[in-house]
C-alpha cells in the first residue's frame, strides 16, 4: 500500500497562562512580573513556519490548510490584532481551505468583554472555553481563576459577538465530586447551548502539583458511573459522542481534532509544539517537536535550535501510533485507511487485530476498524495490543 498525503492542519502553541493549574501537564508558563513579549513571539511563530516550510520542502509547501488551532497556555492572552497578524501571515504562506476551521482556546477569566468581536474579525470562527466546572468550590480546588458566573457571562458575550460555534471543556471525577455534581455541571453547560462539549476525566499526570499532593478523587467505579450518566444526558440533549471525550451537535465535530484522530498531518508551530508530516514521495511519516521553553524558542527565532527533536516514525511504531488515534473515534475508521495513512500492508496488524476481535474489543468487520462498547471501556488495553 502506498502512503498518501492526508489533510494538513496547523497547530499554534501560545505558552503563557495567568496561573499554572495544579492538574496541568501542558507546556504552559504562568505570568510572572513583566508581561510576556506577545508581539515578539508572533514574529517568532512566523519565522518558525517559514523555517518548517523550507525544511519540509514539497511535503508541506502548497498544501491546503484544513484547520488551525491556537492552543496553550491561554491563547486569549494574545490581543486580537496579534492573532490576526499571525493568520494573515500564515495565509500569505499557505492556502487555506474555503471552510477552514480556526479555533482559539480561551479561559473565562482572561478575556476582556468586547474582545470576541476582534477575534471574529481576525478570522477565528470557533472558540473553545476551558470552563472545567460550574461549581465554584470545585473551580477553587482545580486552581482556576474564574467563577461559574464569569464562565457563563463569557460564553454569552461570545455568542452576542456573533459566535455560533463554541466548545465547552468540562471535567468530571473532580476532588470529592458526587454523581449529582457531575450531572449538574453538564446541565449548566447545556443551558448555554454550545455546539460542542469536551468531557474529560480528571487524571493525575506526572510532574504536576496534583501528582505530588493528590487530592481526594472518586474511585474508578464512581468515575465510570459519572461518565455513563453524563454521556446519557448529553445524548438525550442531542450531542452525539464521536470520540471518547467529545460530543457534538450534528455537523459540529471539531475538524482539527478529527484530523488528529484520523492520523492526518499537522504543522506544529510554537514553543513545545508537536507536528506530524507524511512525505508521500519518500514513503515516510515524520514527527518534529519544538524546544519547550518560550525564551529558548524565541532566541532561536526560526533557526535550527528551535527544534527539540525530529525523527521518522519507524515501521514497527506506526501501527501503535495509528491505533492510538483512530480507535478513539466511536465510529472508527475504514479498514483500508490504515494502509493509506501509514504505507504499511494490512498484514502488519493482522495478528493483534484478530486477537482484539477474539477478545470482543473490536467489531468483526473486514471493512471497518471500530471498538465495541467493551473495547471503549478498556481502550488502553486495546491500543497496547498494537505495540511492537
Identify the bridge partners of residue 278 per DSSP, sorted by sequence position: 285
In terms of phi and psi (left: phi > 0; alpha: psi -120 to 50; beta: otherwise), the region of 181 is alpha
> What are the C-alpha distances in Å from 65 to residues 71, 80, 166?
17, 21, 21
What's the maximum distance between 2 C-alpha atoms anywhere in the chain? 59
344 and 254 together in one domain:
no
In a domain, 300, yes or no: no
User: Which residue matches cell numbers 505495540?
Assistant: 387
pLDDT at 109: 79
pLDDT at 114: 65
81 and 213 together in one domain:
yes
335 and 236 together in one domain:
no
pLDDT at 34: 84
Identify the bridge partners of residue 284 per DSSP, sorted by sequence position: 279
Burial status of residue 62 (CB atoms within 10 A of its CB: 0-12, 13-18, 19 or more): exposed
Could you read off the pLDDT of 56-92 as tens digits, one per residue?
Answer: 999 998 899 999 999 999 999 999 999 999 999 999 9
- Tell me: cis bond preceding 169? Omega within 30 of 0 counts: no
Sign of CA dihedral 231, 232, 234, 240: positive
In a domain, 255, yes or no: yes
pLDDT above 60 (res 113):
no
CATH number at residue 223: 3.20.20.70
In a domain, 145, yes or no: yes
Domain count across the chain? 2
Of 240, 259, 278, which marks where a domain is finished? 259
In a domain, 278, yes or no: no
Of 259, 277, 300, which marks where a domain is finished? 259
67 and 203 together in one domain:
yes
Residue pair 77/294 in contact by the 8 Å Cβ criterion: no
Of 259, 293, 326, which marks where a domain is finished? 259
- Confidence at 382, pLDDT banded by 50, 70, 90: very high
Q: How far apart are CA 218 and CA 178, in angstroms?
A: 8
235 and 322 together in one domain:
no
In a domain, 238, yes or no: yes
> What are the C-alpha distances in Å from 125 to residues 146, 284, 304?
24, 33, 33
pLDDT above 90 (res 104):
yes
CATH number at residue 343: 1.10.10
Q: How far apart are CA 137 and CA 219, in angstroms?
A: 20
Could you read off the pLDDT of 199-248 as tens digits, one per residue?
Answer: 999 999 999 999 899 999 999 999 999 999 999 999 999 999 999 999 99
pLDDT at 25: 87
Q: How far apart are CA 199 and CA 235, in angstroms?
A: 13
Q: How far apart are CA 362 and CA 40, in angstroms?
A: 49
Picking from 103, 48, 106, the residue whose alpha carbon sits closest to that of residue 77 is: 106
In a domain, 108, yes or no: yes
- Confidence at 32, pLDDT banded by 50, 70, 90: confident
In a domain, 203, yes or no: yes
237 and 335 together in one domain:
no
User: Which distant-in-sequence residues (6+ apart) come within 8 Å of 335 by Cβ?
Assistant: 346, 365, 366, 367, 368, 369
Q: Residue 331 is part of which domain span?
A: 318-384
41 and 150 together in one domain:
yes
198 and 91 together in one domain:
yes
- Confidence at 388, pLDDT banded by 50, 70, 90: confident
Question: Who wins on pLDDT, 377 or 138?
Answer: 138
- Mean pLDDT (the chain) is 95
pLDDT above 90 (res 354):
yes
216 and 350 together in one domain:
no
In a domain, 99, yes or no: yes
331 and 247 together in one domain:
no
Residue pair 241/371 in contact by the 8 Å Cβ criterion: no
Identify the bridge partners of residue 158 per DSSP, sorted by sequence position: none
Query: What is the CB neighbour count within 10 angstroms for residue 217?
Result: 18
pTM, two decimal places: 0.96
The vertex-199 CA angle with 114 and 271, nearest 5°, equals 65
- What mean pLDDT do residues 259-286 have? 96
Question: How long a stretch of residues is the chain?
Answer: 388
Residue pair 159/116 in contact by the 8 Å Cβ criterion: no
One-character DSSP codes across 278-316: EETTTTEEEEEEE-SSHHHHHHHTTSGGGEEEEEEPPTT
226 and 363 together in one domain:
no
* DSSP H or E segment with residue 132: strand 126-132
Could you read off the pLDDT of 314-347 as tens digits, one per residue?
Answer: 999 999 999 999 999 999 999 999 999 999 999 9
Sign of CA dihedral 157, 159, 165, 168: positive
336 and 247 together in one domain:
no
One-character DSSP codes across 117-149: HHHHHHT--EEEEEEE-S-HHHHHHTT-S--HH
Sign of CA dihedral 174, 26, 287, 104: positive
Picking from 190, 180, 194, the residue whose alpha carbon sits closest to that of residue 229 is: 180
Amino acid at each position: 500500500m502506498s502512503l498518501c498525503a492526508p489533510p494538513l492542519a496547523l497547530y499554534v502553541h501560545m505558552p503563557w497562562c495567568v496561573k499554572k493549574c495544579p492538574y496541568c501537564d501542558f507546556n504552559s508558563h504562568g505570568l510572572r512580573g513583566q508581561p510576556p513579549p506577545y508581539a515578539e513571539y508572533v514574529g517568532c511563530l512566523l519565522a518558525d513556519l517559514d523555517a518548517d516550510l523550507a525544511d519540509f520542502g514539497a511535503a508541506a509547501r502548497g498544501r491546503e490548510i484544513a484547520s488551525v488551532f491556537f492552543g496553550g497556555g491561554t491563547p486569549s492572552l494574545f490581543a486580537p490584532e496579534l492573532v490576526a497578524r499571525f493568520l494573515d501571515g500564515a495565509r500569505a504562506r499557505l492556502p487555506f481551505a474555503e471552510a477552514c476551521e480556526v479555533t482559539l482556546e480561551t479561559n473565562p477569566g482572561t478575556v476582556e468583554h468586547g474582545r470576541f468581536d476582534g477575534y471574529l474579525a481576525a478570522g477565528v470562527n470557533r472558540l473553545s472555553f476551558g470552563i472545567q466546572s460550574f461549581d465554584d468550590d470545585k473551580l477553587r480546588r482545580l486552581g482556576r481563576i474564574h467563577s461559574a458566573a464569569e464562565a457563563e457571562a463569557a460564553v454569552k458575550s461570545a455568542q452576542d459577538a456573533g459566535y455560533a460555534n463554541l466548545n465547552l471543556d468540562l471535567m468530571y471525577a473532580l476532588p470529592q465530586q458526587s454523581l449529582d455534581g457531575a450531572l449538574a455541571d453538564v446541565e449548566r453547560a447545556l443551558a448555554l447551548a454550545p455546539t460542542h462539549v469536551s468531557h474529560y476525566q480528571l487524571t493525575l499526570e506526572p510532574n504536576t502539583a496534583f501528582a505530588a499532593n493528590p487530592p481526594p478523587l472518586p474511585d474508578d467505579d464512581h468515575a465510570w458511573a459519572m461518565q455513563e450518566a453524563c454521556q446519557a444526558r448529553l445524548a438525550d440533549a442531542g450531542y452525539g459522542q464521536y470520540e471518547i471525550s467529545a460530543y457534538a451537535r450534528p455537523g459540529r465535530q471539531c475538524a482539527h481534532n478529527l484530523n488528529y484522530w484520523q492520523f492526518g498531518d499537522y504543522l506544529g508551530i510554537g514553543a513545545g509544539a508537536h507536528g506530524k508530516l507524511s512525505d508521500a514521495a519518500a514513503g515516510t511519516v515524520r514527527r518534529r517537536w519544538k524546544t519547550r521553553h518560550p525564551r529558548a524558542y524565541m532566541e532561536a527565532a526560526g533557526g535550527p535550535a528551535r527544534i527539540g527533536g525530529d525523527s521518522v516514525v519507524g515501521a514497527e511504531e506506526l501501527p501503535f501510533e495509528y491505533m492510538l488515534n483512530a480507535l478513539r473515534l466511536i465510529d472508527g475508521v475504514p479498514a483500508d485507511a490504515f494502509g493509506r495513512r501509514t504505507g504499511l500492508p494490512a498484514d502488519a496488524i493482522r495478528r493483534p487485530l484478530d486477537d482484539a476481535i477474539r477478545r470482543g474489543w473490536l467489531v468483526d468487520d473486514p471493512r471497518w476498524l471500530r471498538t465495541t462498547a467493551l473495547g471503549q471501556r478498556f481502550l488502553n488495553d486495546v491500543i497496547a495490543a498494537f505495540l511492537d
